[in-house]
Structure 1
Amino acid sequence: MDPTAAPRPDVPKLVATDLDGTLVKLDGSVSEFTREVLVKLEEIGVPVIFVTGRPLRWTRELFEHIGSVGLAIVSNGALVWDVAADEARLTRLIEPALAAEVAGALKTNLPGLAFATESLGGWACEPEFAAHISDARRPAQRNAAIEELAEEPLIKLLARRHDHDDADELLAAAVAVVGDLVNVTHSSFPLLEISAPGVTKASTLELVCTELGISASEVIAFGDMPNDLPMLTWAGTSYAMADAHPSVVSCASHLAPGHEDDGVARVLAGVFGL
């Protein structure tokens, strides 16, 4: 398949793209070609919305690439950030009682899990939680047991078991325990990313698109990991990256070149005739 061929005769009205493993390169950078394509889409009036599992603190470094729509969907849909106003447009939080119930059930059924939390005030973790390398410059604001950390509304509840290196197996085990209470997913390595019930990239993107007067059929979406599955299923046109998780490749209607090959930008240049 020619990755730059338009997938349907009518041109999409909005682009929704994941970041890591999708739009940005392995080192977290955005190539000059991708920058040019994003600028050209802005010039022709096509909004591009970043829809990422990243927390806000990791997404800020890419805000320079956000166009006039000025919105980013972060933390797998739990937060919509207004970049210009530098404030939350929408929050979809896990209530404390539910977070405590979920953490307790996971601790009982999956021994060895260590927990962390994301809130509007930042992130915190249990002492035994091994932080992601991206947080080396951003230490946790608080270290305490999850029972204490879950006493406030959360953007996201995170869990790792450091002797478990299969992300899909860990996800399946967690879904079997708490999948009827919350949304559980992962975006690469064995880290459970837990959101409030019904909160996904897709459900929040739908809210934003409704506000903009854009339907699912008018959206083209790109992703590479299981946390992208709801968005790719919802969007009228969906692309998995060539190096995406097998479940994403199976779900998406089209395949884009890999993120190291500017796959998103190459597809968009063809679709929009840039």
Structure 2
Amino acid sequence: MTNRTDTPDRIRAAFADAGVTGRLAALDVDSGAGIGVDADHLVCTASVHKLPLLVALHAQAAAGRLDLTEQVEIPPAGRTPGPTGLAAMLDAARLSLRDLAFLMMTVSDNAAADLLLARVGLDAVNGTTARLGLDATYAVHTFGASMAAIKEDAGPAGARALADPHVIARLRALDPARSNRSTPRDLARLLAAVWRDDACTPEHGAAIRRLMGLQVWPHRLASGFPFDDVHVAGKTGSLPTLRAEAGVVEYPDGGRYAVAVFTRTAQTAATLPAADAVIGTTARIAVDALRAG
């Protein structure tokens, strides 16, 4: 039987075994019961901040300030760089706002995200999180600006320099005071609001939940819940030494649990399977404890 009192210690032990420093918040969407490990610690959100952008997009659509079927012309030049989606494509394209949102959430397309951000605006993203009482959550810049800052801080050696811990230490993108930021608790509260239809109207809440359920990455949060009848919807975030995911785990008995996990590692390698998997491991520990009462 799961003992709620020792759950934080078990989560900390799992983080230590994986060689990471971790922060976690988990909430029962319906009862409000929660578990946290450094849940109010300020973190750089990386691509997890695409979630507040998505909520702001749908809030504006619900208010009639934009039409999600609005078409956007996307020339090949000037796109925010990245390894997926439009960011990696070579030719001109034309997509609706809602299809840009699909690319942003399912494959974490940076170019799609910044096209949406240009339409929605940073002020609207921050207004949305403020309206929901998420006081620690703030968008400072575009996703392209974050990538540009990493390139500048890395210096002339480029990506090779990111193997140097001294270079990592000076990256502005990893400083919450100078980058898009939140806390695990804020992000879990945001997800709970989306799942309860408190963040948007039910129609738009359903659209957000659908997109989050289509994310293609199974190696972090979803890895902790390898069951055909358990549904995981999430959004990952990655920067050098930073791995994160925020999402909701839904059980067939109706249980719904919002979880946000952020990790940092001293190792600079881009591929660290244990650092990815511990996000699912610790989320499972927290959700099991919430389900046990």
TM-score, with structure 2 as normaliser: 0.26
TM-score, normalised to structure 1, is 0.28
